[in-house]
Amino acid sequence: MKTFLFSLLILFSSASFAAPTVEFETTLGRFTVELNQQQAPISVENFMKYVNDGSYVGTQFHRVIPGFMAQGGGFDEQMNERSSYSPIRNEASNGLENLTATVAMARTSNPNSATRQFFINLADNDFLNYSRNSAGYAVFGKVTKGFDVIRAMARKPTQSMGMMKDVPVTPIVITKVTVKQ
């Protein structure tokens, strides 16, 4: 009986600390992101607002640079910018690094300007990490399934559209977002 109760206790305590995961379906396939709520609570809460309100659906990966990253979440198929909630504080000093397959908040030159756009690192991008000389880009998750879909994005031809560069010729659109945990 003690073993059974101990097993239940472990099961329930690990479930309460389980990282939330989000599955994205795109026009190229599916990928799953595990979020790091413990080290990036502000970024995860912000990201989940857009997941839960459904506004990532219909957005595209509008900036894809092979060997660097794939950025999305901010523009629809016609490159119309989607509305955003207020910017959040940069959490780049959280100890998470911009390694291959990690997900980070996109921002302007203002470190505290991240809203809805995110990017997925296609390589280890150490220069995006927080340091004494750089505010960095806040990592808040990692692609745990379907990274081949992200790599496939990087193989698609891109073009310039207005002032935007590296825009996929054929839009890579998010068609569905599902919270798994």
The domain of 51 spans 22-179
User: Is residue 11 situated within a structural domain?
Assistant: no
Tens-digit pLDDT profile for residues 73-118: 999 999 999 999 999 999 999 999 999 999 999 999 999 999 999 9
User: Is residue 7 situated within a structural domain?
Assistant: no
pLDDT band at 181 (very low <50, low <70, confident <90, very high): confident
Residue 160, SS3 per DSSP: strand
pTM of the model: 0.90
| Residue 140, domain CATH | 2.40.100.10
pLDDT above 70 coverage of the chain, percent: 90
User: Is residue 1 situated within a structural domain?
Assistant: no
Which residue, 122, 116, 97, 106, is CA-closest to 51?
116
Opening angle at CA 11, ends 10 and 14, nearest 5: 80
Which residue, 84, 151, 166, is CA-closest to 117?
84
User: Is residue 115 situated within a structural domain?
Assistant: yes
pLDDT at 159 over 60: yes
User: Is residue 175 situated within a structural domain?
Assistant: yes
Which residue, 55, 57, 69, is CA-closest to 99?
69
User: Is residue 5 situated within a structural domain?
Assistant: no
User: Is residue 77 situated within a structural domain?
Assistant: yes
Q: How far apart are CA 40 and CA 34, in angstroms?
A: 12
